[in-house]
């Protein structure tokens, strides 16, 4: 039996899915890719902010539906695109080993940007964090696939990209500066690929268990707990990241992006203890920015 993988058709998504396919073939599976066009893809050529067309989930819902409709057994996503609430009828069977979770500037380094220089990014989180470091900067909307975005570097300015996206496409030579993820806290799950299957599909779940990276699963599960505590519909600037030393870094800003709370919290114990720490941090941050 062939295992069908539903994926977006973008270059980055296909590369990510091919990594999953290679891992599954090493486990003895026959694999083919099924291309899916998502709402996020259909609006890539516009400058409409993602939060205005649905926020989290605009790149995943149609891919998930392909599994629910029986067009594929598996759905591959960038974990940062997944809403914190698990879709009905699906389960995350594997978190692939994480690449770099950091953001990067392409164009000029932060200390090379002149006062009033423009940084292009569609992320409210990235804008809020950069504004804290450089309140003099101007910001522009940025949409499109990776190669399209790389053609939109403002004159004398920069764009912000996930290092992992550049790693997947072997474009890290374009990085001007990797931003410290303990300061510029990444999106929840950034740098990780998540693979879903139908909750009742034991065969696919058991297959995915062979490629599941337990360390990545622990980290991303704790990060997702922080986001879930804020509410699955949260559109505020938010980030959470568990680093290699077991510290949870969190960030939340208010709607204006000015009132912001960040913490660095050492994690001890099992994943449930980490989830409890994340939830408590989310409640503190939400109370602080809501004042």
Whether 127 is catalytic is no
Whether 80 is catalytic is yes
Set 4, 8, 81, 98: catalytic member: 81
- Are the beta carbons of 286 and 254 closer than 8 angstroms? no
13, containing H or E segment: helix 11-26
- Are the beta carbons of 257 and 124 closer than 8 angstroms? yes
Set 99, 127, 131, 149: catalytic member: 149
Nearest to residue 28, comparing CAs of 213, 195, 209, 207?
A: 207
Nearest to residue 70, comparing CAs of 211, 197, 207, 194?
A: 197
Set 4, 8, 127, 143: catalytic member: 143
Whether 143 is catalytic is yes
Whether 126 is catalytic is yes
Set 4, 8, 99, 126: catalytic member: 126
Whether 99 is catalytic is no
Q: What is the CA radius of gyration of the chain?
A: 19
193-198: strand order across its sheet: 30-36, 2-8, 74-78, 193-198, 90-95
23's tokens: 């891992």
Set 80, 98, 108, 217: catalytic member: 80
Residues in the chain: 291
Whether 212 is catalytic is no
Whether 284 is catalytic is no
Set 4, 108, 224, 234: catalytic member: 234
Set 8, 99, 125, 131: catalytic member: 125
Active site residues per annotation: 80-81, 125-126, 143, 149, 234
């Amino acid at each position: 039996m062939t295992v069908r993988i539903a994926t977006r058709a973008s270059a980055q998504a296909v590369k990510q899915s091919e990594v999953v396919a290679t891992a599954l073939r090493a486990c003895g599976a026959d694999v083919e890719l099924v291309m899916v066009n998502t709402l996020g893809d259909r609006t890539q050529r516009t400058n409409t902010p993602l939060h205005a067309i649905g926020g989290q989930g605009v790149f995943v819902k149609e891919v998930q539906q392909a599994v629910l409709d029986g067009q594929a057994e598996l759905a591959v996503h960038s974990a940062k695109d997944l809403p914190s609430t698990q879709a009905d009828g699906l389960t995350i069977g594997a978190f692939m080993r994480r690449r770099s979770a950091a953001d990067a500037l392409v164009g000029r380094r932060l200390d090379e940007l002149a006062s009033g220089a423009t940084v292009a990014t569609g992320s409210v989180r990235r804008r809020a964090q950069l504004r804290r470091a450089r309140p003099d900067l101007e910001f522009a909307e940025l949409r499109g696939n990776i190669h399209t975005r790389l053609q939109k570097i403002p004159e004398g300015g920069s764009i912000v990209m996930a290092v992992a996206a550049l790693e997947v496409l072997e474009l890290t030579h374009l990085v001007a500066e990797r931003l410290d993820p303990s300061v510029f806290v990444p999106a929840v799950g950034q740098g990780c690929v998540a693979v879903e299957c139908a909750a009742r599909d034991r065969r696919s779940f058991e297959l995915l268990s062979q490629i599941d990276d337990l360390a990545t699963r622990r980290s991303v599960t704790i990060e997702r707990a922080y986001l879930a505590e804020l509410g699955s519909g949260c559109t505020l600037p938010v980030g959470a990241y568990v680093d290699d030393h077991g510290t949870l870094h969190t960030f939340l800003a208010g709607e204006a992006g000015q009132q912001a709370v960040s913490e660095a919290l050492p994690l001890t114990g099992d994943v449930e203890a980490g989830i409890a720490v994340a939830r408590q941090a989310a409640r503190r941050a939400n109370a602080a920015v809501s004042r």
